[in-house]
Amino acid sequence: MKLIIAYFRPEQLNAVKQALYAKGVHSMSATNIAGSGRQKGYTETYRGVMIEVNLLKKVRLEVAVKDEKVTETMDAISAGAQTGKEGDGMIFVLDIADARRIRTGETGEMVFG
């Protein structure tokens, strides 16, 4: 079992969701974050004063999947999130040591059943 964490542009969330649905992945959790990476922030003026915005709004998506689904899932996320411009984001994959479905009490890979 792996936990896939992806950061990408908020406006791509719909595309990513559709791409995941197409692969049969329906379970996920999204949250909004402020991130920095390759894409530099920008400077603005507010009331005549410079303001450095170096944390940009991104979405962070968590998808826990069985090991055999990992590549497929990453591909789907990539496909949905890619625009080719700086700021497209990252995917990180972590090992899940254990899992449990709260409603049923199922554990391990069963939770993805």
Partner 1 sequence: MKRRWTLSTKALTVVGLAALVALVLPSAGFAQDEAPEFLSQQNGNVMWTLIAAILVMFMQAGFAMVETGLTRAKNAGNILMKNMFDFSAGSVAFFLVGFALMFGDDIGGFVGFSNFGLSEANTADADGLWGYTFWFFQCVFAATAVTIVSGAIAERTKFVSYLFLSFLVTAVVYPISGHWIWGGGWLSQLETPMIDFAGSTVVHSVGGWIAMAGALVLGPRIGKYTKDGVARAIPGHNLPLVALGVFILWFGWFGFNPGSTTAANGNIGLIAVTTNLAAAMAALAAMCTAWLRYGKPDVSMSLNGVLAGLVAITAGCANVSPMGALIIGFGAGILVVLSIEFLDKVLKIDDPVGAISVHGVCGAFGTLCVGLFASPDFGGTAGLFYGGGLSQLITQIIGVGAVFVWSFGAGLVLFALLKITVGIRVTAEEELKGLDLTEHGSEAYSGFQIFITE
The answer to the question of residue 74 lying near its own copies (CB under 8 A) is: yes
Q: Do strands 42-46 and 56-65 pair parallel, antiparallel, or not at all (unpaired)?
A: unpaired
Q: Would you give the binding string for ligand ADP spanning residues 56-95, x where CB under 6 A is met?
A: x-x---xxx---------------------xxxxx-----
Q: Is residue 24 within 8 Å of residue 73, measured between CB atoms?
A: no
Q: Is residue 17 within 8 Å of residue 25, measured between CB atoms?
A: no
**Which residue from 24, 32, 44, 110 is in contact with its own copies, where contact means CB under 8 A?**
32
The answer to the question of residue 34 lying near its own copies (CB under 8 A) is: yes
DSSP 46-71: ETTEEEEE-SEEEEEEEEEE-GGGHH
Residues found near ligand ADP in the complex (CB under 6 A): 7, 27-29, 33, 35-39, 56, 58, 62-64, 86-90, 101, 103
